[in-house]
Amino acid sequence: MTQMADKTVVSNRRVRREYFIEESFEAGLVLTGSEIKSIRAGRANLQDSYVSIRDGEAWLINLHVSPYKQASIENYEPKRDRKLLLHRRQIDRLLSKVQAKGYTIVPLRLYLKNNRAKVEIALAKGKKFYDKRADLAKRQAQRDMERAMRRPRGE
């Protein structure tokens, strides 16, 4: 059996700017047939989505999957809650961290792995304004150093 590479459908770049990522997990998604076709076509949006744990199950809230055009008239709700497939220990661990220390669970990216939709979720802690500014300054300094290294010596 050959291992196929992951194909990222959509990523949530804003999360890395606004949160410190502590730990990440891979979770499967429970989807309908027309939803997976729409995701394979790249018609999904992770913006403003988050993970909630209810009744011992993890749910992805606010994932927008555009309705599939060729599907039947009775299509799905684009922003419905979708169940995440995680092991019991992972759910318990996430729940204990969220309740105790003020963490939140956010999705980082939605991707296809072996023709199955997966979502990478992360245990994250919110950044303060000065943390964001420090990250911005660090990235700018790194860019300046790389620019200086590329420049020939005589200039």
Q: Tokens 């199955």 — which residue?
A: 116
CATH of 7-127, one of 3.40.640.10, 2.40.280.10, 2.102.10.10, 1.20.140.10: 2.40.280.10
First to last CA, the chain: 54
**Hey, where are the domains in the chain?**
7-127
Cα separation, 85 vs 87, in Å, equals 7
Q: Please spell the DSSP secondary structure of the chain, one letter per residue.
A: -PPPPPEEEEE-HHHHHHEEEEEEEEEEE---HHHHHHHHTT-EE-TT-EEEEETTEEEEES-EEPPPTTS-SS---TT--EEEE--HHHHHHHHHHHHHH--EEEEEEEEEETTEEEEEEEEEEEPPHHHHHHHHHHHHHHHHHHHHHHS-TT-
Per-position pLDDT tens, the chain of length 155:
455 678 888 999 888 888 889 999 999 999 988 888 889 999 999 999 999 999 999 999 999 998 887 766 667 788 889 999 999 999 999 999 999 887 999 999 999 999 899 999 999 998 887 778 888 888 899 999 888 888 776 65
- Its pTM stands at 0.78
Q: What is the pLDDT of residue 60?
A: 95
Burial class, 58, CB count within 10 angstroms (exposed 0-12 / middle 13-18 / buried 19+): buried
So what's the pLDDT on residue 89? 95
Q: For residue 81, what pLDDT is reported?
A: 93
pLDDT at 1: 47
pLDDT of residue 25: 94
Q: Return the exposure string of 94-104: e unless at least 16 CB atoms fall within 10 Å of the residue's CB, then b.
A: beebbeeeebb
